[in-house]
């Protein structure tokens, strides 16, 4: 087991990583006032563990899936907290993937102006990314994460035991964010290339989780509230990823991160920002995890990039793209040029199939 600490001006956050971290956490719960939020899939699979661990604590179960990341679900959690007698002495426990973590985190930040928060991520994506760093949110009007807050968890329990029940597709989603770290961090890139044939291997995934979290912890410690440009590097591939996610919907966030990274890597190559063996290796890693889908209407989908939070104005699209090993770059493009380029890349993918 390994502890990673993020010390920010608002909160010290301790991330306990490794097998046995959940059991260790469960031993120290006696007398704690907890309000547990989970989703319908996690509750179905882990009901016995939840009942044994959290005994008489209220458990709020949201319907699994991104469609639950709404204001209405958020209000449902807050109402349940009030009705079950929760006070400022309570801690919200988010037990689930990124959807549960984002919405329960936002509920914790709002209830009585803020109560303690513990994240227990149960998907690979939430273990390497969303449970760490304090971004919480719900979607609004088809805009992802439009309402949210920075709210650090006091503790994060990252136990690979939860990955044993995770469908392969969800592992793929987690690998989307892991490859993103590879494009930001030379050591992670080297490890991924050296292990490109065992990306889905559980032992490998366990070994790469802490380095990814450590990368994120360093970034968050340097720019907790996304103010000085450091934290937005964690959004590599996400501009196009989020735009496609809103339009095509059929895949999950992590898969769209991979697709977005691929498109933005090609834009980086077109602009001479990235290239050579490095670009080929990143494409190889992406190809090991996902087949690029053929998209009609890619230009229409790309229009949603105007809502990206990195943009200074809606007419200019900002993207964080891979540059060199361990280095990324920001590309800003007029919206119309971006949309046209995305359409061309989609056509090229279609022709190659």
Residues contacting ligand GLY: total by CB under 6 A: 6
Which residue's entry shows tokens 């080929």? 280
Residue from 8, 57, 91, 123 touching ligand NAD (CB under 6 A): that is 123
Residue number, 69 or 278, with CB nearest to ligand NAD: 69
The residue number whose beta carbon is nearest to ligand NAD equals: 98
- If you ran DSSP here, which 8-state letter would residue 61 be given? E
Pick the stretch among 165-173, 191-199, 259-267, 294-302 that binds ligand NAD (CB under 6 A): 165-173
Residue 66 or 206: the one with the smaller Cβ distance to ligand NAD is 66
Query: Whose structure tokens read 């891979």?
Result: 322
Q: Is residue 241 close enough to count as binding ligand GLY by CB under 6 A?
A: no
Residues with Cβ within 8 Å of residue 62, at least 6 apart in sequence: 37, 38, 39, 40, 68, 73, 76, 77, 99, 100, 103
Out of 42, 212, 273, 305, name the contact with ligand NAD by CB under 6 A: 42
- Could you tell which of ligand GLY, ligand NAD, none binds residue 155, using a CB distance below 5 to 8 A set by kind? none
Alpha-carbon gap, residue 35 to 189, rounded angstroms: 39
Closest separation between CB of residue 273 and ligand GLY, Å? 21
H-type alpha helices, the chain: 21-27, 40-54, 71-83, 98-110, 124-125, 168-182, 186-194, 202-222, 238-248, 253-270, 276-289, 298-302, 335-352
CB of 234 to ligand GLY, least distance (A): 4
Token code pair at residue 174: 């987690």
The residues in 95-114 that bind ligand GLY, with binding defined as CB under 6 A, are none
Token digits for 198?
């065992």
Question: Within a 10 A sphere around the Cβ of 18, how many other Cβ atoms?
Answer: 18
**Three-state SS at 38:** strand
DSSP state of 17: E
- Residue 98 binds which entry of ligand NAD, ligand GLY, none, with Cβ cut-offs from 5 to 8 Å by kind? ligand NAD
The item of ligand NAD, ligand GLY, none sharing an interface with residue 231, based on CB under 5 to 8 Å by kind, is ligand GLY
Q: How far is the CB of 172 from ligand GLY (least distance, A)?
A: 17
Handedness of CA 211, 216, 222, 228 (dihedral sign): positive
Stretch that binds ligand GLY, among 90-98, 118-126, 181-189, 228-236 (CB under 6 A): 228-236
165 touches ligand NAD (CB under 6 A):
yes
Q: How many CB atoms lie within 10 A of CB 233?
A: 18
Tell whether residue 133 is a contact of ligand GLY (CB under 6 A).
Answer: yes
310 part of the interface to ligand GLY, by CB under 6 A = no
Considering the complex, state which of residue 145 and residue 196 has its C-beta at the smaller distance from ligand GLY. Answer: 145
236 neighbors 274 (Cβ within 8 angstroms): no
Q: Which stretch binds ligand GLY (CB under 6 A): 136-144, 147-155, 185-193, 229-237?
A: 229-237
96 scored as a contact of ligand NAD (CB under 6 A): yes
Residue with tokens 């410690």: 221
Q: What is the rounded distance in angstroms from the CA atom of residue 257 to the CA atom of residue 263?
A: 10
Q: Is 253 in the site for ligand GLY (CB under 6 A)?
A: no
Of the candidates 53, 9, 59, the residue with the CA atom closest to the CA atom of residue 30: 53
Is 45 a binding residue for ligand NAD by CB under 6 A? The answer is: yes
Footprint of ligand GLY (CB under 6 A) = 129, 133, 135, 231, 234-235
Binding site for ligand NAD (CB under 6 A): 39, 41-42, 45, 64-66, 69, 96-100, 102, 122-123, 125-126, 129-130, 133, 135, 144-145, 162, 165-166, 170, 173, 252-254
């Amino acid at each position: 087991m390994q502890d990673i600490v993020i010390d920010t001006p608002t909160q010290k956050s301790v991330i306990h990583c490794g097998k046995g971290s959940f059991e260790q956490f469960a031993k120290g719960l006696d007398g704690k006032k907890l309000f547990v939020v989970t989703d319908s899939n996690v509750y179905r699979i882990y009901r016995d563990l939840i009942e044994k661990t959290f005994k008489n604590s209220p458990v709020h179960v949201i319907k699994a899936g991104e469609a639950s990341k709404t204001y209405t679900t958020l209000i449902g959690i807050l109402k349940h907290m009030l009705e079950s007698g929760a006070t400022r002495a309570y801690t919200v426990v988010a037990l689930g993937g990124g959807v549960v973590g984002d919405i329960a985190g936002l509920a914790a930040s709002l209830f009585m102006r803020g109560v303690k928060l513990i994240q227990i991520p149960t998907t690979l994506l939430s273990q390497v990314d969303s449970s760490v760093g304090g971004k919480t949110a719900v979607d609004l009007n088809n805009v992802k994460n439009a309402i949210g807050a920075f709210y650090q968890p006091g503790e994060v329990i990252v136990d690979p035991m939860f990955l044993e029940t995770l469908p392969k597709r969800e592992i793929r989603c987690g690998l989307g964010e892991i490859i993103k770290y590879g494009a930001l961090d030379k050591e992670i890139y080297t490890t991924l290339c050296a292990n490109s044939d065992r990306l889905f291997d559980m032992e490998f995934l366990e070994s790469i989780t802490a380095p990814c979290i450590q990368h994120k912890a360093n970034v968050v410690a340097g720019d907790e509230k996304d103010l000085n440009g450091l934290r937005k590097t964690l959004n590599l591939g996400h501009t196009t990823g989020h735009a496609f996610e809103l339009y095509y919907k059929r895949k999950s966030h992590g898969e769209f991160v991979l697709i977005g990274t691929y498109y933005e890597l090609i834009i980086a190559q077109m602009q001479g920002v990235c290239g050579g063996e490095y670009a080929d290796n990143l494409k190889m890693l992406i190809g090991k995890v996902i087949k690029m889908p053929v998209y009609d209407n890619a230009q229409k989908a790309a229009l949603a990039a105007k809502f990206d939070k990195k943009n200074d104005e809606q007419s200019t699209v900002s993207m964080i793209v891979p540059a060199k090993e361990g280095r990324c770059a920001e590309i800003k493009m007029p919206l119309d040029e971006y949309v046209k380029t995305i359409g061309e890349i989609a056509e090229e993918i279609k022709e190659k199939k």
